[in-house]
Every structure is written in C-alpha cells, then in structure tokens.
Amino acid sequence: NAGVMQNPRHLVRRRGQEARLRCSPMKGHSHVYWYRQLPEEGLKFMVYLQKENIIDESGMPKERFSAEFPKEGPSILRIQQVVRGDSAAYFCASSPNGRYEQYFGPGTRLTVT
C-alpha cells in the first residue's frame, strides 16, 4: 500500500507565478489535509478536504490560496501570484476519516525567487 504521494518534491517559482502542488492520498483514504511549515516555524494547518468538499479552510490565507479535492484525481493546492513569503514546505496528510490517524506525505518544498 503506497503512502501519501506528493509532487513535485521541489518547486521553484518566480514572484508572480502560480504554484500547483499535488497530493495523492493513501488508498482507501478520502480525507486530505494540507499543512505549511515556514522556515524556523512549526507546522500550521491550512485546509481539510473530503472528495469534492472543503470541510475546514480556517488556516488558509484569505487571498491567492485555494485547494480542491475532485472526485477523480489528486488534491491540488494552488497558490496564485506567489511571493517570497510563500517559500515553505507544504505537507499533505490523509486519513480514512476526520478522527483517525493522519499519514503524511514527504512534502513539497516551494522556493520563490
């Protein structure tokens, strides 16, 4: 059973470009979570999704950030018009439901130049 997969593992974007981060949950998991780890800071919750639904987006910045988890395919975290402050490691996790153990992917390290 493959673990949570994230791609790309490393992403470099210039200021103003768009970044798309992908997450494929573990087989049988329909709940996906995104977290961000800024340099020298702890992990912060961003958004919790089920298939085609956003359950909790209380940690998402109000502008430029969006997330989706379509019926088919991976979950996507999209950052429009990236700025240097978006440089961070973005982790995706999945679970069978919202109260179970979360399993994390290897992360996508975004660098904005």
Partner 1 sequence: KQEVTQIPAALSVPEGENLVLNCSFTDSAIYNLQWFRQDPGKGLTSLLLIQSSQREQTSGRLNASLDKSSGRSTLYIAASQPGDSATYLCAAGKADSWGKLQFGAGTQVVVTP
Q: Which residues bind partner 1 (CB under 8 A)?
A: 31, 33, 35, 41-45, 48, 55-56, 58-59, 91, 93, 95, 98-99, 101-107, 109
Q: Which is nearer to partner 1, 17 or 45 (CB)?
A: 45
Q: 19-24 and 43-50: which strand pairing? A: unpaired
Q: Under 8 Å CB-to-CB from 23, ≥6 apart: which residues? A: 4, 5, 6, 32, 34, 74, 75, 76, 77, 92, 94, 105
Task: Compute the distance between CA of residue 30 and CA of residue 44 in angstroms, rounded to an integer.
Answer: 21
Q: Quick one: 15 or 44, whose CB is closer to partner 1?
A: 44
Shortest reach from residue 40's CB to partner 1, in Å: 10
Shortest Å, Cβ 81 to partner 1: 26
Beta 103-104 vs 43-50: how paired, if at all?
Answer: unpaired
CB of 5 to partner 1, least distance (A): 11
Q: Name the residue nearer to partner 1 (CB basis): 42 or 85.
A: 42
